């Protein structure tokens, strides 16, 4: 099993692998699956700026592509001094896809953190349930 401190540490290690030649802003993420596995990710920038992928989505895509969709927690880290990193809007939507209530740890470089959740970060968000309850018109 993985405690919060280890997950936070894994996110800070992952940020060192950030590919961020344009912003120089390193971000790392570490997601803990319900069965105790940890997947890490970093931001991967692109010369065509809008193609950049954030660390949170990079970690989640790694986990999902390895067969994991149930999460206990995700920790996010950056190299921004004295500031808790906060996921962008796209990542908030992505986090909400996999549940409303798992733990989101937004950390500072000193490994302190604020704990939140997908629904707290994305109130009134559009969720998989919305689409499931939609009756598709027949043809
Ligand atoms: O929570 C965040 C915020 C920003 N970034 C990345 C995207 C881009 O590479 C750089 C600057 O926005 O930081 C993340 O990966 N996660
Ligand atoms: Zn993002």
The per-residue pLDDT string of the chain (139 residues; one tens digit each, 9 = 90 and over) reads 689 999 999 999 999 999 999 999 999 999 999 999 999 999 999 999 999 999 999 999 999 999 999 999 999 999 999 999 999 999 999 999 999 999 999 999 999 999 999 999 999 999 999 998 888 888 6
pLDDT for res 81: 96
ipTM: 0.99
Tell me the pTM.
0.96
Residue 139: alpha-carbon gap to chain centroid: 39
| CA dist list (Å): 94 to 9, 98, 135 | 22, 8, 23
Ligand 1 pocket check: which of 53, 88, 105 to mutate, most ligand atoms within 8 Å of Cβ?
Answer: 88
As annotated, the binding site includes 43-49, 54, 88, 91
As annotated, the binding site for substrate includes 43-49
Residues with CB under 6 A from ligand 1: 20, 23, 25, 27, 43, 45, 52, 54-56, 76, 85, 87-88, 91
Task: Phi first, then psi: give them for residue 93, nearest 5 degrees.
Answer: -60, -40
| Residues contacting 18, CB < 8 A, separation 6+ | 25, 26, 27, 28, 42, 43, 44, 55
pLDDT for res 53: 98
pLDDT for res 28: 99
Which atom number of ligand 1 is nearest to the Cα of residue 44?
9
For the question of residue 56 being annotated catalytic, the response is yes
pLDDT for res 69: 98
Ligand nearest to the CA of 52: 1
């Amino acid at each position: 099993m993985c405690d919060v401190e280890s997950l936070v540490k894994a996110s800070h290690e992952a940020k060192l692998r950030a590919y961020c030649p344009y912003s120089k802003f390193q971000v790392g993420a570490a997601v803990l699956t319900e069965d105790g596995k940890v997947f890490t990710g970093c931001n991967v920038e692109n010369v065509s700026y809008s193609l950049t992928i954030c660390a949170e989505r990079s970690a989640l895509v790694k986990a999902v592509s390895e067969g994991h969709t149930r999460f206990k927690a995700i920790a996010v880290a950056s190299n921004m001094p004295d500031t808790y990193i906060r996921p962008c809007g796209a990542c908030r939507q992505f986090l909400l896809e996999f549940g409303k209530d798992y733990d989101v740890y937004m950390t500072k470089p000193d490994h302190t953190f604020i704990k939140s959740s997908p629904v707290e970060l994305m109130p009134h968000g559009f969720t998989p349930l919305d689409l499931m309850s939609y009756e598709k018109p027949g043809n």
